[in-house]
Amino acid sequence: MKSTTTLAAACAAAVLLLSGCATFYSPVVDPNSVGNMDAYRANLAECNRYANQISVGQSVAGGTILGALLGAAIGAAAGDRQSFARFGAVVGAAQGGTASANAAVMTQAQIVRNCLAGRGYVVLDGPVTVPLGGMAHPPAPVSAPPSSSAP
């Protein structure tokens, strides 16, 4: 019982600590695409503000709780209901919290990359899902209509 209480207190402390975390991601950008460094820094800061709308702390909390519940259920089904369930809850909480934190940070990085690419910067360090120049596909060439001259 004491280890479960200690685990719950540690998880609560970690969630409280991480809930206030704000990250600042700075991708590798082609220097040739940066005309004005002050404008780039302002754009980078604004893109990071958008990315920080994804809360790492909330993701960790949700992942920890879900992981603990799933781990406890699997542990209880695998053997002795108390000790296996407790062990499964601990492992599940750690795995769920870690995976959720990683996913949230990766999402934040993707938001910053997409934001900068959408503003015309060439981002070099990861996939960009926003097409450069704002067009999903280059425009099709305009061809002259076929002539309707009969032989």
Residue 37, pLDDT score: 92
Bridge partners (DSSP) of residue 17 are none
Per-residue pLDDT of 58-82, as tens digits, reads: 888 888 888 888 888 888 888 777 7
Query: Which helix or strand (DSSP H or E) is residue 38 part of?
Result: helix 37-51
Residue 22, pLDDT score: 63
Q: What is the pTM of this model?
A: 0.67
Residue 36, pLDDT score: 92
In DSSP notation, 84-113 reads HHHHHHHHHHHHHHHHHHHHHHHHHHHHHH
Residue 50, pLDDT score: 92
- How large is the greatest C-alpha to C-alpha distance in the chain, in angstroms? 96
Q: Exposed e or buried b for every residue in 40-60, given b needs 16+ CB within 10 A?
A: beebbeebbeebbebbbbebb
